[in-house]
Homo-oligomer: A and B are copies of this chain.
Amino acid sequence: MSKRIVVIGGGAAGIGAAGAAKQVDSAASVTVYTEFEDVAYSPCGIPYVHGKEIPSFEQLFLETKEAYVEAGIDIHYETRVQAVDLKRREITVEGEGTVEFDRLVIATGFTYADPGIPGTHLEGLYYVKNIRRAMEWDRVLDKVRSAVVLEASPLGLEMTTALGHRGIETHLVDPRPWALAEVADPDIMQPVQESWTEMGVQMHFNTRAEALLGTDHVSAVKTSDGDIPADIVVICTHKQAEAELAEGAGIRIGSTGGVIVDERMATSAEGVFAAGDCAELPHGVTRVPIQGLSGSHAYAQGKVAGANAAGGGRVYQPVYVPWGMVAGRWMIGGVSFGETLATALGIPFIVGAANGITRARYYPDVKKIRVKLLAEPKHHRLIGAQMVGGEGIKERADFLAVAVKTGITLADLAWMENVYSPPMGALSEPIAAAAQNALAQLKD
């Protein structure tokens, strides 16, 4: 009899797992259960449709439902998995009863952390996640005059930018002293915040949200710095691992609240794997578990989990977490640690920074770029980077993540060669200049 592989969750991790399982063992039966109406769309694109940068939600869909049928993947839509029974090797599906499995992949994703303030029962609170709800919310946004974005998380930055771009009076409220303060350094965020000001966004940092006010529908946010009237509130709190099903089955949960997995993405339960936002993984530098990474991470983890569920022997390596996004009128990004996070974690470092340009200074559309590099003090191996600029941030972040992982030093970067061609690159590469800056400071 063919192997029965069940996947719970239809996001990037779940769909990655299903596809990889079929690739490794085409005879396996692969069934995916999702609560939602769709799979295989890009939830990461939602803020950009709201911001009117992408004309319609239809463009976010990747595959038709038929494509999965043809690929031999059986997807059960709008279906809630209620329990996992490890002893009986079965799951309980609402309206379907019990379903047996040989191997299970848990890809149940995330939920937004409860803001923990009165008023979360009110209407008008937008939790960005599902595309059908986003389509409904987009029509609501047509009538919205003012919005509060609660917390300057990555999604908070994207939604602030999108709503500002759409011409809605947008207020960003965050208890920390600057945007994305847990990840990014203030010098990196300064140009972003300046561009938000230009766009008319109003920022409220060092400001706690204390309550959501209103009768049935939200009408304002009460903060430590006064009330902010709002037609809607976009809840952009921390993404927590959605690991209830796994926990209920007795699978081990880690310090972040995510499912603990080994390098094969296997959980503590035999034949059960987990991937994506519901799992936690060690950071490559600190080996401390982290969770809530990108869709690209979820997809890659899903592929490893699915391949191994089908009998493969793939390994997922510790993560160094290159990140990047557009915020305001800038791109920001980096890898692993900035100064703020490294300091908070007690990680010793030396640092160098440089401001540069992305093309010849006279070439049209040349953009500014700032690169900051952190290295361990002894051997000067790179441990982190932060950047803000107008282009080329993603590519540099990817590069620097490989550099951190492979132990590349400041000296390697300081004397790196670089492409010089007026329409695509400047005479000096800012990564090299930042590394030279760090090394020069050691001599002082």
Q: Contact residues of A with B, CB < 8 Å?
A: 12, 42, 44-45, 48, 53-54, 59-60, 62, 294-297, 299-300, 317, 319-326, 331, 333, 360-364, 391-399, 401-403, 405-406, 408, 412-413, 415-425, 427-429, 431
Among B296, B405, B413, B419, point to the contact of A394 (Cβ < 8 A): B419
Contacts of A403 in B (CB 8 A): 402
Query: In the bound complex, do residue B392 and residue A44 qualify as a contact, i.e. CB atoms below 8 Å apart?
Result: no
Contact A419 B398 (CB under 8 A): yes
A399 neighbours in B (Cβ, 8 Å): 395-396, 398-399, 402
Known: A45-B422, A59-B362. 10 other contacts (CB 8 A): A42-B362, A45-B360, A45-B363, A53-B363, A54-B422, A294-B420, A296-B419, A394-B419, A398-B419, A401-B416
- Chain B residue with minimal CB distance to A294? B420
Inter-subunit contact A325/B421 (CB<8 Å): yes
Known contacts A54-B362, A360-B42: does B395 contact A321 (CB below 8 Å)? no
A107 CB, min distance to chain B CBs, angstroms: 16
Classify the secondary structure of A's interface with B: mixed
Contact A420 B362 (CB under 8 A): no
Alpha-carbon distance between A412 and B406 when the two chains are bound, in angstroms: 8
Partner of A423, one of B53, B300, B421: B53
Q: Which residues of B contact A326 (CB under 8 A)?
A: 421, 423-424
Q: Would you give the shortest CB distance from A63 to chain B, in whole angstroms? A: 12
Query: Considering only CB atoms, which chain B residue lies closest to A359 in the complex?
Result: B394
What is the chain B residue whose CB lies nearest that of A324?
B419
A117 to B162, CA, bound (A): 62
Instruction: Determine the distance from Cα of A317 to Cα of B44 in the docked complex, in whole angstroms.
Output: 43
For A413, list chain B residues within 8 Å (CB).
402
CA gap between A241 and B408 in the complex, in Å? 34
Q: Which residues from chain B contact A322 at a C-beta distance below 8 Å?
A: 417-419
In the bound complex, how far is the Cα of B16 from the Cα of A428, in angstroms? 12
Given contacts A54-B363, A392-B394, A416-B398, contact A42 B296 (CB under 8 A): no
Q: Which residue of B lies closest to A315 (CB)?
A: B415
Which residues of B have CB within 8 Å of A362?
42, 45, 54, 59-60
Q: Which residues of B contact A295 (CB under 8 A)?
A: 420, 427
CA distance A180 to B297 in the complex (A): 38
Residues A44 and B422 in contact, CB atoms below 8 Å apart: yes
- Closest B residue to A421 by beta carbon equals B325
In the complex, which residues of chain B have a beta carbon less than 8 angstroms from the beta carbon of A424? 324-326, 331, 333, 393-394
A317–B432 Cα distance when bound, in Å, is 14
Shortest distance between the CB of A316 and any CB in chain B (Å): 8
Q: Which residues of B contact A300 (CB under 8 A)?
A: 415, 417
* A314 and chain B: residue at smallest CB distance: B415
Instruction: Provide 11 A-B residue pairs closer than 8 Å at the C-beta atoms, listed in order of the A residue.
Output: A42-B422, A44-B420, A48-B363, A54-B363, A54-B422, A296-B417, A331-B423, A395-B395, A399-B402, A402-B413, A402-B416
The CA of A107 and the CA of B325, in the complex, are separated in Å by 43
Output the nearest chain B residue to A362 by Cβ-Cβ distance: B59
